[in-house]
Amino acid sequence: MPLHETRVTAVFATDEQAPSCSLPLAVASVSAGFPSPADDYLEGVLDLNQHLIKHPAATFFVRVTGDSMIDAGIHDGDLLLVDRSLEMVDGKVVIAIINAELLVKRVRKVGARLFLLPENQAYKPIEVQENMDFELWGVVTYVIHSL
């Protein structure tokens, strides 16, 4: 059973000077259950940068390899939006550095112990030990993958 199963293979900085990316936003919501009548009315535009990025100077994209976070909806090849300014909160999905390797895991505090949990039963949790070179790098805020 592998220990380090989902890695970050690339880190991309956001460009604070990039032009906005505004796209039409429909007023009507889309039903995931029973169909609803479609409206032809647009509410306005939605700028994805403003919607997704709250702290541009502290936000990065990272590319994922591996399948240990598949049950959290994070797939091999996905892009994650990571905000380094957010505080790590128990239960959040984070990017951590262990021994110079970037990993994506769900963080769990149990008393004074800290664990990095996979979201795939094929992998074991990682308990952070004092002898590890460990750092919480950022909090994952969004995942981007194609359907």
Residue type, 95: I
Contacts of 72 (CB under 8 A, 6+ apart): 93, 106, 119
Residue type, 143: V
CB-based contact 125:6 (threshold 8 Å): no
Start-to-end CA span in the chain (Å): 28
Catalytic residues: 68, 105
